[in-house]
Amino acid sequence: MNSGLFLAIAGAAIAVSLAGTGSAKGIGFVATAAAGAMSEDPKKFGKFILLVALPGTQGIYGFVMGFLTLQKIGLVTGQLVSLTLWQGMEVLFMNLPIAIAGLFSAIHQGKVCAAGVNLISKQEGEMGKALVMGVLVEFYAVLGLLVSIFIWMFLTF
């Protein structure tokens, strides 16, 4: 395997790994808060599940970018392209916006959603506010994904 192809595959792995790590950590924060709150009132599971799931989207974004990368280099079709070292670096760097944005936004989204669980525990009617605050953090993961996709669209080799 040439070094360019190795870097491209590493880029896909980084996107999936970092965004997925952030999602797991973020879900852990909010799920812990939700489990504690449900020990007092198990009927609130339905209200909490959306907040628990929300930080998981960054992992999905990383997976999507990883798949697009593997498709771009021909690994999905079995027709690998030959990449120069420079092209491999371009593909690796293409994955960094979603990898980094996904990692940090998922962690912080988990913290915001955990606070939302506490809000709903005390004021059940505030689900909308808790959700909006969590979604605001999501915006930056979406920007990271969009930048990665824009670069993906314009890379030609």
Q: Would you state the pLDDT for residue 11?
A: 98
Angle made by CA atoms 32, 35, 36, in degrees to the nearest 5: 85
Is the model more confident about 41 or about 1?
Answer: 41
Residue 124 has pLDDT above 80, yes or no: yes
pLDDT in tens, 34-82: 999 999 999 999 999 999 999 999 999 999 999 999 999 999 999 999 9
Amino acid code (one letter) for 30: V
The pTM score is 0.94
* All structural domains of the chain with their residue ranges: 3-154
User: Right CATH number for 3-154 from 2.60.40.10, 3.30.1330.10, 3.20.20.80, 1.20.120.610?
Assistant: 1.20.120.610
pLDDT of 79-111, one tens digit each? 999 999 999 999 999 999 999 999 999 999 999
Give the whole-angstrom CA distance, residue 7 versus residue 103: 20
pLDDT per residue as tens digits for the range 4-34 = 999 999 999 999 999 999 999 999 999 999 9
- The predicted pLDDT at position 140 comes to 97
Q: Would you give the end-to-end CA distance of the chain in angstroms?
A: 17
